[in-house]
Amino acid sequence: MGLAAAVENGYDKTPHDVPRLSLASVRCPCIRTDVSYLGRIRRSVDCARLTAVSAPTEVPPIVAKALALSHRQGYLRSSRNETGRLLAALAASRNGLLAELGTGCGVGAAWLVSGKHADAQVITAELDPALATSVQKLFVDEPGVRVVSGDWTELALHAPFSLLFVDARDAKQNVDALADLMETGGMVVLDDFTPTTSWPPIFEGRVDTLREQWLTDERFTAVEVMVTDDSSVVLATRR
Q: Provide the binding-site residues for ligand SAM, judged by CB under 6 A.
A: 77-79, 100-104, 107-108, 125-128, 131, 151-152, 167-168, 170
Q: How far is the CB of 1 from ligand SAM (least distance, A)?
A: 36
Contact 91, 98 (CB under 8 A): yes
Q: How far is the CB of 178 from ligand SAM (least distance, A)?
A: 13
Q: How far is the first Cα of the chain from the last one, in angstroms, to the nearest whole number? A: 42
What are residue 100's DSSP bridge partners?
Answer: 124, 165
Residue closer to ligand SAM, measured from CB, 104 or 115? 104
Show Cβ contacts of residue 26 under 8 Å, excluding neighbours closer than 6 positions. Answer: 1, 3, 6, 34, 35, 37, 50
Q: How far is the CB of 145 from ligand SAM (least distance, A)?
A: 14
d(CA 112, CA 115) in angstroms, rounded, equals 5
Residue closer to ligand SAM, measured from CB, 23 or 79? 79
Query: Which region, left, alpha or beta, applies to residue 176 given φ > 0 means left and ψ of -120 to 50 means alpha?
Result: alpha
Residue closer to ligand SAM, measured from CB, 34 or 170? 170
For 108, phi then psi, to 5°, come to -60, -45
Of 45, 80, 49, 70, the closest CA to residue 192 belongs to: 80
Q: How far is the CB of 61 from ligand SAM (least distance, A)?
A: 16
Q: How far is the CB of 202 from ligand SAM (least distance, A)?
A: 23
Residue closer to ligand SAM, measured from CB, 30 or 156? 156
Residue closer to ligand SAM, measured from CB, 41 or 162? 162
Q: Which residue is nearest to ligand SAM (CB)?
A: 108
Residue closer to ligand SAM, measured from CB, 28 or 100? 100
Q: How far is the CB of 30 from ligand SAM (least distance, A)?
A: 26
Residue closer to ligand SAM, measured from CB, 42 or 77? 77
Q: How far is the CB of 68 from ligand SAM (least distance, A)?
A: 13
